[in-house]
Each structure stands twice: as C-alpha cells, then as structure tokens.
Chain A
Amino acid sequence: MTNLVTTPPAVAARPAPAEAGKGRVNPLNGVAHLALFLWALVTAGPLIWVLLASFKSNTEIFLGKPFSLPEHFSLKTYTDAWSEAHIGQYFVNSIIVVAISTAGTMLLGSMAAYVLARYRFPGNRAIYYLFVSGLAFPTFMALAPIFGIVKSLGLLNTFTGLILVYIAYSLSFTVFFLTAFFRTLPHEIDEAALVDGAGHLRRFFQIMMPMAKSGLISITIFNIVGQWNQYLLPVVIMQGSGSDTNWVLTQGIANISVQAGYHAEWSTLFAALTLSIIPMIVVYAIFQRQIQAGLTAGAVK
C-alpha cells in the first residue's frame, strides 16, 4: 500500500538531463497541494465538527458558527450518552457479537476453503460455486425470508441469531478469498508432513494455518470491519418490543438520532457519535497499514 513513487537518492544525485532542468517547480504542484488539502478538509471537517459540537450546549449548537470552540468543556454530554442513552451497552453488545461471529467466520470459512482448495472429491466445484454465487447478490434482497427463517428457529432478538446470520453471510467472500489463497501455498511442506505421518487435522492446524497467516489476517480485518459496521441485519433481527437491550452500536446510534430529532436536543447525539468514532481512530492509528491492506485485499485479488 505504501509503494510511493519516490525518486531514489541515486537518481537525484545523478546529473539531470539538460532539458528537464534541476529542481524545476512543477506547475501542477501548487494545484495538487491545494486540491488535496481541500479534500482533506472536506473529509475531516464533519468529524471535527461533531467533536466540537459534543461539548456545546443545545443553545450554542443552534447559534450556528459550527467551528467555534465550545464556551466551556464539560463531560456531562458524554456521561449522558454512555449511561442514559445506553451507548455503553450497545458497545458491549457490538463487541460480543463481532468477536464471536468473526472468530466463527474465520474458523468455518478457512475449514471450508482449505478442503475446497486442497482436496479432490466429487462435488468440490459445485460447492465452491455455491459459496461464491452468494457474492453476486445483495443481502437486502431476501430480507423477509431471512426474518422468517430466524423467527422459525426461535432466534429473533438473540445474539445467537445475529451471529449465525453474520457468519452465513460472511462465508461467501471468506471462502472465495481463502480458497484462492490456500491454492497458492506450496505443496512440498504439506506433503513432507504427510510422509511423516501427520493426520489431516494436524496438517491443517499446524502447517497450513500458520503458512496462511497473512491471508488470514487480511480477511479477519475485512470481516471485523464489515460486521462491526453492519446495520441492515441487526435492524431486521433485533426488532420488536424489548429488543433494545440487544441492539448493536450502529442501531443504537441511529435510534439516539431519531430520539434527538423529536426533542431537537442534539448534544447527547454528538457525544454518542464521538464515542463511537474515537475507538475507530485509535484502532486505525495502530493498524493503519494492515487495515488498508485488509480492506483493499478483496479488490486486488
């Protein structure tokens, strides 16, 4: 991701070709900086505004001047958002659901992908294409039947239901990506282990999984981000009276936004938004490289 087009020092030290001129200012350079800086502002602006507004009183918010500093800093809005608006609860719910469902997706997905990639058996291709065909269709297409199936299993409004659905809908891409990945791994080590008498299970867990580490990390990040950000499926599965204690973060924030709209009382919403954005910034700051690689992995194959 970081293969910048930079001039190696050796090239810079070399005498420049006569017509190019040494260190000539590229007229595009100024324009480039301006355009890039403006877009950085457009990207960061709304987020900075949310942060500033989270410290403002409702009256201040309605005064306009969106980028003025708040009159005084108080964490009142934050404690409101955390406890009264239940952001803390939604956070914990999201963490529980995503932790279990991503772990499940990775385990089941890599098992299926491994078998499909490295073993010949009748039906192999059919099963592979069955998984991959799921990539073509949007999840919302079959909303009513998904609801019906989860309901008939008695899993509406449960973490179990949401987790199983997350795993099922993450399998297509996971199997697709990991099958391709397992195929590229060398056969020699695997065969050597076979000769040494290692069983199928041992070869999978002790040889293939460690060898596939980079691919597994990419796709794990992809699944964590995807499942953490999911909104449609929780809205369908966690609905009806009494479901709100099981809501995940996206759902909770959307609901706080609706409630805030009724009373035109925005400051708690901004605090809730800030609380949900900050962890993403922290995680992004630490794992920036891996995250960019993981999310673009699907696109560059």
Chain B
Amino acid sequence: MRHGKYPFIIGFLVVPLALYLVFVVGAYLQMFQLSFTDWSGFGGFHYVGFDNFVKLMEDPVFWIALRHNLYILIAMPIVTIAIALFFAFLLNVGGKSRGGTTQGVRGSKAYRIIFFFPQLLALAIVAVIFGRVFGPDRSGMLNGLFPDSWSPWLFLADERWALLCIAVVLIWQQIGFYVVLFSAGMGSIGQEIYEAAALDGATKVTLFFRITLPLLWDTLQVAWVYLGIAAFDLFALVNIMSVNKGGPNNATQVLSYQIYLNAFQNSQAGYASAIGVVLFFLTLTFAALTLRVTRRDAVA
C-alpha cells in the first residue's frame, strides 16, 4: 500500500477510540472493580470481597425489581408487536378489494404520520405528560373524562396498577415506530403473491397468517431485540412517574432505577455496581438467546 497509510489510520482512530475507551470501556471495567468495594460515590473505598453480591441475594427489593423487569420484558414486546402488526396490516391491506387485489385504507399515510410522532418525543417528556394523564384527581385527563359520580382512580398511586400504567405508556410511545417498520416490510412483499392467494380464495386472515407473517419474520426479530432493550431501560418513566421513588411500596421498582437510587441517593455506589454486574450477565444471556434463536431460524 501507499506510504503514509499507518499514520493516517492511527490519526483517524485515535480520538474516537480514546473517547470510547475512557468513557465506555473504562466505565464497564470499573464497574467490575467497584462491585467488590464499599465505595459511596465520594472519596476512597475498601475492597469487601463478595459482600455486595451476598447482600444482593438477600435484598428483597432487588428481586422485586428484577421480577418487574422480566414481566415487562416478556409482556411489553408481545403486546406492542401484536398491536403494531394489526395496525400495519389494516393500513396495507385493510382497504377495498378491487379486481381481486386489496389496497391500503384511505388516509393510511396520515395515520402513519400521527402514529409515528410519539417516537420523536423524549421518554422523559412522555413520562411527564402521562404523569398528568394518570393524575389521581379530577385534574388528571382520565379521571376528568370519567363520570362525575365515580370516585377518582389512583392509577400510579395504586400499587396494583402502577406498573401496568408505566408499561402502557411505553407501549403508547413505541407502537407507531413498529407500525411504520412493519408497514414498510409488508409493502415490500410482492403484490402478486397476495393476488395469487386471493384468486385461490384465501381470506384476509389466511393472507395474514400464511403470507404476511412468515415473510416478515426477520423484521419481527429485529423488533423483538429493540423492544427488549426498551423494556430494560425504564429509568425515565419510573424516575418521573412513580410515586415515592419506585413505589407505592416498590410496585414500580426496576433494575435501572435501583442502580440509580443506590448510586446517587443511598450513597452505595459499590452496591449499585454489583447490580450492574448482574445486569451485565443478564444482558449477555439475552443477547446469546437472541443469537441462538436467530441462527436456528436461519438453518431451518
């Protein structure tokens, strides 16, 4: 190769790599180190062996948070994907039949624009809006809509419903993105496939399950991974919407919030790092499982 190749390569890589090593790789490595210390977040620290991990195993709040994360990790993607598929299907093939072919419903472009918009709003701002939508008195949007004779619903202040309210907000924000994603996928499926099937007398429902769904399988997998990531990171929603810091009575406690609370409110940065380490292995498991599932499909 030409003279001067290596100075050029080094020149182009050194700054991005340095930033990445200091702030990202450095942070992850320190997380492992700090998880074995009693660091409060300020000043020095001592090594305490596996104390943080022992404490973690015995900490009921940690297990509650982990359980909530798993609930949302399972339920949220399924619900979001199902609803988004339904709307995408209606947008693309819910229209009138003409000459044996189907077309998109009228106004499908406008629907897509409206549905997608929440994706553009910061989750923090969505959380503030829905904090008021779920307001526990008549100033809340939903309670304002209910008949006067009803006593106000508590929503986020009711420990039976608080976590569900938070999951609903996430679904509200995410659906439009997947409607657009799935629509694009459906749009790229050849019209002649649908025509042929429709000529053979296939119903809309058959079309959906026998043609649309299998051809969208790759997109669905990507959606699953993205939703899984979103389902893990509920920090903004819980920090802003939850009553009493992940309450009431820990009903909305999740791992990201536990890490934050321990690091910055309880001055237990070492312990927060230990939770991070557990999360590291959970994420690896999730990633490995996803890869495994994807690869099996590729073989089949």
- In angstroms, Cα B24 to Cα A131, docked, is 9
Say if the beta carbon of A138 comes within 8 Å of chain B: yes
Residues of B contacting A292 with CB < 8 Å? 112, 116, 180
Say if the beta carbon of B19 comes within 8 Å of chain A: yes
Known: A146-B23, A168-B22. A28 touches B260 (CB 8 A): no
Residues of B contacting A116 with CB < 8 Å? 13
Task: Choose, from B56-64, B98-106, B292-300, the stretch at the interface.
Answer: B98-106
Say if the beta carbon of A141 comes within 8 Å of chain B: yes
Residues of A contacting B26 with CB < 8 Å? 145, 149
Say if the beta carbon of B155 comes within 8 Å of chain A: no
CB distance from A122 to the nearest CB of B (A): 10
Say if the beta carbon of A206 comes within 8 Å of chain B: no
Known: A200-B5, A281-B117, A299-B226. A36 touches B87 (CB 8 A): yes
Which of A6, A44, A144, A264 contacts B263, CB < 8 Å?
A144
Q: Flag if A5 contacts B102 (CB, 8 Å).
A: yes
Residues of B contacting A249 with CB < 8 Å? 122
Number of A-B contacts (CB under 8 A): 344
Q: Which size bracket describes the interface of B in this complex?
A: 35 or more
- In angstroms, Cα B219 to Cα A34, docked, is 27
Within 8 A of A (CB), among B7-65: 8-9, 12-13, 15-17, 19-20, 22-28, 30-31, 34, 39, 41
Say if the beta carbon of B109 comes within 8 Å of chain A: yes
Known: A140-B259, A141-B31, A266-B139. A26 touches B23 (CB 8 A): no
Residues of A contacting B130 with CB < 8 Å? 46
Q: Which of B2, B39, B90, B239 has the most CB of A within 10 A?
A: B90
Residues of A contacting B106 with CB < 8 Å? 33
Q: Flag if B138 contacts A225 (CB, 8 Å).
A: no
Task: Choose, from A13-21, A76-84, A180-188, A212-220, the stretch at the interface.
Answer: A13-21
Q: Flag if B31 contacts A144 (CB, 8 Å).
A: yes
Chain A 42-80: CB-based contact to B (< 8 A → 1; otherwise 0): 111111011001000000011111110000000000000
Say if the beta carbon of A271 comes within 8 Å of chain B: no
Q: Flag if A231 contacts B122 (CB, 8 Å).
A: yes
Within 8 A of A (CB), among B224-275: 226, 229, 232-233, 235-236, 239-240, 256, 259-260, 263-264, 269-270, 272-273
CB distance from A124 to the nearest CB of B (A): 9
Which of A165, A231, A284 contacts B117, CB < 8 Å?
A284
Task: Choose, from B74-82, B159-167, B276-284, the stretch at the interface.
Answer: B276-284
Residues of A contacting B129 with CB < 8 Å? 46-47, 50, 273
Q: Flag if A112 contacts B280 (CB, 8 Å).
A: no
Q: Flag if A142 contacts B139 (CB, 8 Å).
A: no
Q: Which of B23, B226, B260 has the most CB of A within 10 A?
A: B23
Secondary structure dominating the interface of A: helix
- In angstroms, Cα B204 to Cα A287, docked, is 34
CB distance from B276 to the nearest CB of A (A): 4
Within 8 A of A (CB), among B95-124: 95-109, 111-124
Chain A 159-172: CB-based contact to B (< 8 A → 1; otherwise 0): 00000110111011
Residues of B contacting A140 with CB < 8 Å? 233, 235, 256, 259-260
User: A20: nearest residue on chain B (CB-CB)?
Assistant: B100
Q: Which size bracket describes the interface of A in this complex?
A: 35 or more
Known: A64-B148, A229-B124. A142 touches B30 (CB 8 A): yes
Q: Flag if B273 contacts A145 (CB, 8 Å).
A: yes
- In angstroms, Cα B204 to Cα A280, docked, is 37
19 A-B contacts (beta carbon < 8 Å) = A1-B184, A4-B108, A20-B199, A31-B90, A50-B129, A67-B145, A108-B16, A137-B280, A138-B233, A144-B41, A144-B263, A145-B27, A250-B122, A250-B125, A254-B240, A280-B117, A284-B113, A292-B112, A299-B223
Residues of chain A touching chain B, judged by Cβ–Cβ distance below 8 Å, are: 1-7, 11-12, 14, 16-17, 19-26, 28-29, 31-33, 35-36, 39-40, 42-47, 49-50, 53, 61-67, 108-109, 111-112, 114-116, 119, 121, 127, 130-131, 134, 136-150, 164-165, 167-169, 171-172, 175, 194, 199-201, 204, 225, 228-232, 235-236, 239, 249-251, 253-254, 257, 264, 266, 269-270, 273, 276-277, 280-281, 283-284, 288, 291-292, 295-296, 298-301
Given contacts A32-B90, A250-B125, 18 further A-B contacts (CB under 8 A): A1-B184, A16-B98, A20-B97, A36-B94, A50-B132, A66-B144, A108-B15, A111-B13, A134-B20, A143-B276, A147-B41, A168-B20, A200-B8, A229-B122, A232-B236, A239-B264, A296-B181, A300-B219
